[in-house]
Structure 1
Amino acid sequence: MISNNKTYNIIKWAVLTALPALSAFIGVIGKAYGWEGTDLAIISLNAFTVFLGTLAGVSAAKYNSQSKDTEENK
């Protein structure tokens, strides 16, 4: 589980904003310059983005379930 809210927000920003933008940038520039490894780089970056998104989603689900458990025990 992600240790704190700041870390979660950074990962969430990276997954939702930075990494998809980087992937699009690499795709466009790589194809424009004829880089041979462009497709592999995009696939790898997108796989990493999905991995981080899954970790963030699992962490959020665990946090939300703990919050509900705490509220029910009050």
Structure 2
Amino acid sequence: MNENDRTGLDYLLPDRVYGVLKWLALIALPAVAVFVQVVGPSWGLPHVDQIVTTIDAIGVLIGTLIGVSEIKAKLTLAA
């Protein structure tokens, strides 16, 4: 059975990739951003705000990419 056949929808991303990206976007990257925001100044890390903004932006980008995969699969099913 093909990974994309499990749900009957034609996803752009295989299930495993989708799961990893979803975990990164929803759990890992926000946790890293908070960690850097809290600990960075204590360690004298320069440009903490810019680093946190970049980490958050990467999380949003990943969330958008997996959202596009969902929309594509639903449009394919409806067609």
Instruction: Provide the TM-score with structure 2 as the length reference.
Output: 0.76
Unaligned runs of 5+ in 1: 70-74
Tell me the number of residue pairs that the alignment of Structure 1 and Structure 2 aligns: 69
CA apart distance, 1:50? 0.8
Which residue, out of 28, 40, 45, partners 1:18? Answer: 28
Task: Supply the AA of the counterpart residue of 2:57.
Answer: A
What corresponds to 1:45 in structure 2?
55
TM-score, with structure 1 as normaliser: 0.80
- CA offsets, 1:19-50, max 9 Å, x none? 00010011111022232221111011111111
Aligned to 2:75: 65
Q: Whose helix fraction is larger, Structure 1's or Structure 2's?
A: 1
Q: Could you say what the CA RMSD is over the residues aligned between the two structures, in angstroms?
A: 1.5
> Percent of aligned pairs with the same residue?
32
Structure 2 unmatched runs, 5+: 1-10
Does structure 1 conserve the Cα–Cα contact (< 8 Å) formed by 2:13 and 2:69? Answer: no
Residue 4 (structure 2) pairs with residue 3 (structure 1): no
